[in-house]
Chain A
Amino acid sequence: MASDRPPPPAVRPVVHRDVVCPFCGLGCDDLTVEEEPPSTLAVRSTDCPVARERFSRTPAAEPPRVAGVPVPLAEAVEAAAAVLAAAQAPLVAGLGTDVDGARAALALAGRLGAVVDHALSDGLYRNLAVLQRTGWIATTLAELRNRCDLLLVAGPDPAVPHPRVFERWVVPAPAFQAPPSREVVFLCGEPLDTTRAALSGFPITVLAGDSARVGDAAAALAAALPDPSRASGAAGIAAGDIAALAERLRTARYAVVAWAAAAFEGPHADLTVERLVRLVRDANRHTRCAGLPLAGHDNVVGVNQVCTWRFGVPLRTSLAGGVARHDPHRFDGARYAAVADAVVWVSSFRPEVPAFPADKAIIALAPPGTAFADEPAVFIPVGTPGIDHAGHVFRSDTVVALRARRLIDRGLPDAATVLTAIAAALPQEASTC
């Protein structure tokens, strides 16, 4: 017998369109994300594994904890301030946060005289070290998309950390080129199958040399530029292939050399970057060529921007004594963690945090559901920029900042609010200048 009661209203997913993805620094702002009550998010418009995974992790809020015991936020903030007020050598690190979170973290670090660093600045520093030593010629994503006729991908496929890099920035037809043409060369790195598929309409060359020696290949290319016929082989790539590529670089109209330095192997990966930068510089004696250093998960690029403008120096800086002292070696967060007595770890983009040495007082700001090897002194669950609250993140190319918006409300505070509250709970001192 048919019921005469109306059917229950279908639970319609809320659909968010044109969502900005804050996770890998590629700045995709075209995502369709479905929200199923209560607050489950699913990316529908792309297969990007990073976006799919990160958006989908939205467990319900949980209360802060002090020494493992759930407490109200205000109490956790007080406890964090008490720990930090007693610290002699604090470290403010992780720094996976948006611009506002970075401002608040750096302000707190300034009050504490702490050392500041981002969890992912290793990859960043391979590039920054070269920028600081020699400078470079670089470009941005829209220039790549619209002007590049020869893309040289150096080292491991950057689509591993930045899954949509080819789809969004290489596949669309160049608009400011006549006639439009584009080819892609992989140097000392194998493209993923997905990359090959994305680039199926383009001429592709794979020069699969030793990926640990991509710097040697770059040096050989640079040496061959003045006279390709005198090229020598390098990194397992034959002299003839180096010669042909050098010739292509010389005659390209706008070549782009792209790399993801975080994936380079070896202890001195910055030297690999330096050789790529030199290759770009030398190619500009003949034509136009620009580098594209790809980096930028967890807004490391944006946090470094804020640190640089706020203190005049980039990350890996000590603020002890109210003076900003930058030393990329001494104040590398991983290294400094060994001597720090308290660590503020901010990780609002991901629930993975490292295991800290047992004797440290850890104040962790991270998403709910974060698993710790050892329970931190204070854990304060925070929202994720672009999911729980709006926030600014920088694209990998350092130029474009995007505003990621809020999608759901799990009742989680943002990192900036918590960090500002901790700073306010510290013993006050007069500010002068």
Chain B
Amino acid sequence: MLMKLAGGRIHDPANGRDGAVGDLFVRDGRIVADPGPDPGPGATPDEVHDLSGRVVMAGAIDIHSHIAGGKVNIARLLMAEEHRAAAEEPCGCGVGIATPSTHATGCRYARMGYTAAFEPAMLPSNARHAHLEMADIPLIDTGGYLVLGNDDLLLELLASGAGEDAVADYVGFMLNATRSLAVKAVNPGGINAFKYNQRRLDVDENGPFHAITPRRILTALAGAVQRLGIPHPLHLHGFNLGVPGNVEATLDSIAAVDGLRLHLTHVQFHAYGAEGDRKFSSSAARVAEAVNRRPNISVDVGQIMFGQTVTASADTMAQMSNTGLAHPKKWVMMDIECDAGCGVVPFRYRDKAFVNALQWAIGLELFLLIEDPWRIFLTTDHPNGAPFTSYPELIRLLMDRDYRLARMAELHPALPEHTILGSLTREYSLGEIATMTRAAPARILGLSDRGHLGPGAVADITVYTDRPDRRAMFEKPDLVFKDGRLIVRDGVVVSFLQGRTHVVEPAYDAKIESWMARRFDERMGQRLTHFRIAEEEIRGGTGLIRHACQPGPF
């Protein structure tokens, strides 16, 4: 079947289109080249959508959103009041605002024009659960980033003086076995140290058991990622999350990888200074400057928005220190399987609270000061900073300075003297939004046939009415296509389909497996063969999309 999307204003940064009017043709779920003036047999469109005057973009992609896995389910359990009270649409989607059910997650993403979202904290031991859960998120593609860097086996390997090859083999095995798309490091070394009752660990301090420094873990993982040729750079949840003055550790991490590619996630939580009478200040400008200067660095923001949410993180060391701020006053910590941990703390960001207001401003400063929209990504670290459903509001804040200033004026009165936000005049263009939410995420994850609208691309397409109120525009696209099928019309899900699971399968030396098998038998109480997730387990065997790795020297 040939479908024609006629006369829309196409924002397709990957292919250099920024609002030029044109047609798109879709056949068998993919974009095909313009069949030309003489269509020939079979090229007459079976279906035509007249999009004149409307804005057309690829389906949006969220590179960092906690949508599945053990901590998300704990968060759902903990948010019982919200889930009991929350009104839901009577469609059997399930409940939840900060931690929606899998169905609500898929529906809400699709209704906002998103066609993929990635779970950024999949623990090795919990990967099977995360995949089972992701398979129940309808409409969008998913995938997981594997959390390494506090796993006792890796730390043991590093402490034994194993070379870079062995580390890369270990990482390569783990990515394959757990069906992951990328590697994430969460407070490397810190979660492990917390299990020995250490409540902080400096970047150059040896861990309590394995005698390895966080810096060594960080560089080893960044190196392994590059050596294996994994498209996405090491996805780093840095040190001292949320602690005033942590900007030094953030800048130090950038320096530590010494030119290797590194993605700093929810960098808003890592851009804090300790200046001023409140000992809490914005260091967004310093972070932005470092990012602007170094093309090997990318970030996502983890913007906070005001209201009730729940923070869910593998970083038990940081989360334990936040438990005093829990709202409501309950929280869960877990030490997990010699892998990592999990800390779930409900939280309410208040617009009249100075610290929260400044966090909000720091996030926006980062968005506006980091120049290259290919290296900064729109996230709220859902649900940590805010539920992902607040993206349209965030987009309006980025695109509309007057709105931003008006909003700022409603916040804590001391805010203006602590932020340069008022002086920042930048307004994101539609093309930049398309870059940040489509083209760039696809590129940095190595999803070569997503995030753009060129021939061969998967026909994940979102169509908007161009409204001056950008929030209204991005909240409710007119049409959303997934794999060439119309799934949303005027904000209503009109057909269900299942997404797919994106993975990488880097090559590694299988020698590492006998070492690992022994360790698994002796320590994990699990056979390595059972740890490995079979292809048939991913969406019943039909779900995998593999992305190429380009191993090379570094």
Interface residues of A (CB under 8 A from B): 18, 20, 27, 29-30, 99, 103, 110, 128, 131-143, 145-147, 168-169, 172, 175-178, 253-254, 287-288, 290, 305-306, 308-314, 319, 321-327, 392, 394, 398-403, 431-433
The answer to whether B68 and A433 have CB atoms under 8 Å apart is no
CB–CB A312/B209 < 8 A: no
Asked if A321 and B90 make an inter-chain contact with CB atoms under 8 angstroms apart, the answer reads yes
List B523-545 residues whose CB lies under 8 Å from chain A: 523-527, 529-530, 533-534, 537
Residues of A within 8 A of B547 (CB): none
B331→A400 contact, CB < 8 A: no
Residues from chain B with Cβ under 8 Å of A399 in the complex: 70, 123, 125-126, 129, 334, 336-337
State whether A137 and B333 are in contact (beta carbons under 8 Å apart), knowing that A309-B133, A398-B70, A401-B128 are contacts in the complex: yes
Q: Which residue of A lies closest to B71 (CB)?
A: A399
Given contacts A401-B128, A433-B492, contact A312 B83 (CB under 8 A): yes
> Which residues on B sit within 8 Å (CB–CB) of A313?
76, 80, 83-84, 94-95
Interface residue stretch chosen among B27-35, B100-108, B223-231: B100-108
30 A–B contact pairs at CB < 8 A?
A: A20-B530, A29-B526, A29-B527, A133-B330, A137-B334, A138-B333, A140-B334, A140-B336, A140-B337, A141-B337, A142-B125, A143-B195, A143-B337, A176-B209, A290-B333, A290-B335, A308-B76, A311-B95, A312-B95, A322-B91, A324-B101, A326-B84, A392-B132, A392-B537, A399-B129, A399-B336, A400-B129, A401-B129, A432-B91, A432-B493
B95 touches A401 (CB 8 A): no
Partner pick for B332 among A30, A135, A147, A310, CB 8 A cutoff: A135
Check B335–A143 contact: CB distance below 8 A. Answer: yes
Instruction: Give, as a whole number of angstroms, the nearest-CB distance from B195 to chain A.
Output: 6
In the assembly, what is the distance between CA of A239 and CA of B77, in Å? 37
B372, CB-defined interface residue at 8 Å: no
C-alpha spacing A305/B72, complex, angstroms: 10
351-398 of chain B: CB within 8 A of chain A: none
Chain A residue nearest to B330 (CB atoms) is A135
Given A399-B129, A399-B336, CB of A141 within 8 Å of CB of B80: no
- Contact residues of B: prevailing secondary structure: mixed
Instruction: Tell me the bound Cα distance from A176 to B192 in angstroms.
Output: 10
Asked if B335 contacts A400 (CB within 8 A), the reply is no
* Distance in Å: Cβ of B537 to nearest Cβ of chain A: 6
CB closest chain-A residue, reference B90: A322
Q: Cβ of B132: which chain A residues have Cβ within 8 Å of it?
A: 99, 306, 392, 401
Cα A103 to Cα B88 in complex, Å, equals: 21
Q: How far is the CA of A254 from the CA of B196 in the complex (A)?
A: 7
Q: Which of these, B90, B107, B126, B492, contacts A400 with CB under 8 Å?
A: B126
Q: Give the complex CA separation of A327 and B85 in angstroms.
A: 12
Contacts of A147 in B (CB 8 A): 195, 335, 338
Partner of A176 from the list B70, B107, B152, B534 (CB cut-off 8 Å) is B152
Distance in Å: Cβ of A199 to nearest Cβ of chain B: 17
Residue B448, interface by CB 8 Å: no
Q: How many residues on B have C-beta within 8 angstroms of the other chain's C-beta atoms?
A: 67
Most chain B CB within a 10 A radius of its CB, from A169, A172, A313: A313
Besides A133-B330, A311-B94, A312-B104, 14 new A-B residue pairs in contact (Cβ under 8 A), listed by A number: A18-B529, A131-B77, A146-B523, A253-B197, A288-B195, A290-B334, A310-B103, A312-B83, A313-B76, A392-B537, A400-B126, A431-B91, A433-B89, A433-B91
Q: A287-B197, A432-B91, A432-B492 are in contact. Are A314 and B77 (CB under 8 A)?
A: yes
Scoring B residues 204 to 248 as 1 if CB is less than 8 Å from chain A, else 0, what string do you get? 000001000000000000000000000000000000000000000
Determine how close the nearest CB of chain A comes to the CB of B154; give it in whole angstroms.
13
Contact between A394 and B525, CB atoms less than 8 A apart:
no
Interface residues of B in 40-67 (CB under 8 A from A): none
Asked whether, in the complex, the Cβ of B196 is within 8 Å of the Cβ of A146, the reply is no
A137 to B331, CA, bound (A): 8
B197, A142: Cβ atoms closer than 8 Å: no
CB-defined contacts of A139 to chain B, threshold 8 Å: 334-336
Asked if B136 and A310 make an inter-chain contact with CB atoms under 8 angstroms apart, the answer reads yes
B92 touches A (CB below 8 Å): yes
Contact A142 to B332, CB < 8 A, known contacts A309-B72, A399-B70, A433-B107: no
Residues of A with C-beta under 8 A to B331: 135
Cα of A253 to Cα of B197 in the assembled complex, Å: 8
Q: Which of B300-337 contact A (CB under 8 A)?
A: 326, 330-337
Q: Which residues of B are found within 8 Å of A145, using beta-carbon distances?
A: 523, 525
Indicate if the CB atoms of B83 and A402 lie closer than 8 Å: no
Asked whether B96 lies within 8 Å of A312 as measured between CB atoms, the reply is: yes
Name the A residues within 8 Å of B78 (CB-CB). Answer: 131-132, 135
Q: Is B280 interfacial (CB 8 A cutoff)?
A: no
- Give B332-354 as 1s and 0s: 1 = Cβ < 8 Å from A's Cβ atoms: 11111110000010000000000
The answer, among B74, B76, B194, B494, for a CB contact under 8 Å with A312, is: B76
Q: Which residue of chain B has the shortest Cβ distance to A174 in the bound complex?
A: B523
